């Protein structure tokens, strides 16, 4: 077994886990909850993008947990921002780098990576994100989506799925958890006609690394967007060690479809031949514990519809029926 294979050159793809660089850029000692897959994702992101990047981070779990003053888990130049302005600040940093380069005061190619949670992207920061995409700033935006405001104590966000319990969508006799469907942020971003939009999942590390790499490289042409599903240990009411398992089940049940939109071309990167019933994904999570059989059936139908839409978009059956 080789110790470590060489990482792929520009434009090439990761083929093996052993191509991921060993050097850590998001180091230990951060205070994310035990078992939080954000740590996994950020380690992968920073390894893939390498040292020539500036990270712009909207408020969220990651920002709070990775930089409790005077400590920081980041080895990149890193900016802390408010919820609403990750897109705006990333635009500013990118513009400043462009000016420095034009004046000849910067000879290296430094790129900007913005990171936001679902609250900071789907709800509060949507306007700034839309502006950034519209103006065509060359920024890679990473959305880590744990499907509620977990940092402040599990309040619903636009990304909370139907039926999920949160503290602001409680589950009782009358209220049955969140009653609105999840906002399709990828479609909103893709509607800006950006070069690259992708969904990723920490349980599929090679696929995720490839998407980060492609998004990072395609910032030469314009803004790119990667949407990562992050199971939240306290917020989804799962066990510490279940984060990656639940993330994988999201893909296997068709709740989370791994795809990329490369210059308008839609492609499913991880086809699922036979889907598992959505119940297997839901039953592991305490936030769906209150659901009745009929309500689970309703979620199954919503997932079926989503799969059907994707299959129609691709033109053939990439995500199979429920086994």
Partner 1 sequence: MSSEGSLPAYYEIPPGGAIPEPGSSLKYKTGSWRVLRPVINQDKCVRCRLCWVYCPDAAILELDEEYVTSKGRRYKITYKVNYDYCKGCGVCARECPVNAIEMVPEPIGGEE
Beta carbon of residue 268, minimum distance to partner 1 (angstroms, whole number):
23
Helix or strand holding residue 229 (H, E):
strand 224-229
Which position among 7, 64, 74, 317 is part of the footprint of partner 1 (CB under 8 A)?
Answer: 74
For 245, the token pair is: 């398992």
Question: Should residue 44 be labelled a site residue for partner 1 when binding is judged by CB under 8 A?
Answer: yes
Question: Should residue 6 be labelled a site residue for partner 1 when binding is judged by CB under 8 A?
Answer: no
Beta bridge pairs of residue 79: 56
Mapping DSSP to helix (H, G, I), strand (E, B) and coil, where does residue 102 land? helix
Question: Should residue 40 be labelled a site residue for partner 1 when binding is judged by CB under 8 A?
Answer: yes
Question: Should residue 60 be labelled a site residue for partner 1 when binding is judged by CB under 8 A?
Answer: no
Question: Should residue 257 be labelled a site residue for partner 1 when binding is judged by CB under 8 A?
Answer: no
Q: Which is nearer to partner 1, 71 or 179 (CB)?
A: 71
Question: Should residue 29 be labelled a site residue for partner 1 when binding is judged by CB under 8 A?
Answer: yes
Find how far residue 10's CA is from the centre of its chain.
Answer: 23
Do the Cβ atoms of 161 and 181 come closer than 8 Å?
yes
Which position among 6, 9, 10, 69 is part of the footprint of partner 1 (CB under 8 A)?
Answer: 69
Question: Should residue 211 be labelled a site residue for partner 1 when binding is judged by CB under 8 A?
Answer: no
Instruction: Select from 81, 32, 76 the least CA-distant residue to 202.
Output: 32
Question: Should residue 117 be labelled a site residue for partner 1 when binding is judged by CB under 8 A?
Answer: no
Q: How many CB atoms lie within 10 A of CB 221?
A: 13
Rounded to the nearest 10 degrees, the angle between the axes of helix 86-102 and helix 126-135 is 30
Number of residues that bind partner 1 (CB under 8 A): 45
Q: Which is nearer to partner 1, 14 or 259 (CB)?
A: 14
Scanning 146-154, 160-168, 217-225, 234-242 for contacts with partner 1 by CB under 8 A, the matching segment is 234-242
Do the Cβ atoms of 320 and 272 come closer than 8 Å?
yes
Scanning 120-128, 189-197, 232-240, 275-283 for contacts with partner 1 by CB under 8 A, the matching segment is 232-240
Question: Should residue 35 be labelled a site residue for partner 1 when binding is judged by CB under 8 A?
Answer: yes
Residue 231's Cβ-count burial label (10 Å; 0-12, 13-18, 19+) is: buried
Do the Cβ atoms of 274 and 253 come closer than 8 Å?
no
Instruction: Say how far apart CA 25 and CA 46 lie, in whole Å.
Output: 6
Q: Which is nearer to partner 1, 202 or 223 (CB)?
A: 202
**Interface ranges with partner 1 (CB under 8 A):** 1-4, 17-18, 20, 22, 24, 26-32, 34-40, 43-44, 66-67, 69-76, 202, 205, 233, 239-245
């Amino acid at each position: 077994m080789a110790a470590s294979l060489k990482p792929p050159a520009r434009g090439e793809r990761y083929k093996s886990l052993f191509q991921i660089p060993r050097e850590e850029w998001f180091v230990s000692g951060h205070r994310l909850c035990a078992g939080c897959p954000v740590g996994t994702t950020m380690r992968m992101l920073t390894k893939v993008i390498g040292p020539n990047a500036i990270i712009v981070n909207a408020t969220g779990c990651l920002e709070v947990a990775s930089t409790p003053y005077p400590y920081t888990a980041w080895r990149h130049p890193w900016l802390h921002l408010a919820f609403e302005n990750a897109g705006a600040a990333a635009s500013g940093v990118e513009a400043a780098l462009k000016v420095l380069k034009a004046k000849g005061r910067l000879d290296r190619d430094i790129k900007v990576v913005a990171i936001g949670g679902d609250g900071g992207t789907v709800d509060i920061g949507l306007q700034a994100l839309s502006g950034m995409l519209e103006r065509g700033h060359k920024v890679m935006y990473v959305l880590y989506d744990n499907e509620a405001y977990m940092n402040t104590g599990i309040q619903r966000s636009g990304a909370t799925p139907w039926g999920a319990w949160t503290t602001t969508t409680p589950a009782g006799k009358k209220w049955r958890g969140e009653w609105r469907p999840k906002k399709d942020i990828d479609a909103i971003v893709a509607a800006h006609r950006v070069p690259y939009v992708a969904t990723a999942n920490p349980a599929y590390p090679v696929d995720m690394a490839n998407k980060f790499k492609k998004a990072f490289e395609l910032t030469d042409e314009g803004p790119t967007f990667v949407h990562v599903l992050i199971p939240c240990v306290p917020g989804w009411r799962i066990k510490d060690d279940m984060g990656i398992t639940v993330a994988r089940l999201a893909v296997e049940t068709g709740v989370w479809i791994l795809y990329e939109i490369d210059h308008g071309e839609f492609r499913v990167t991880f086809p699922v031949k036979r889907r598992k019933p959505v119940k297997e994904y839901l039953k592991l999570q305490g936030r769906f514990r209150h659901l009745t059989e009929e309500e689970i059936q309703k979620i199954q139908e919503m997932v079926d519809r989503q799969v059907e839409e994707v299959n129609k978009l691709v033109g053939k059956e990439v995500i199979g029926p429920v086994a």
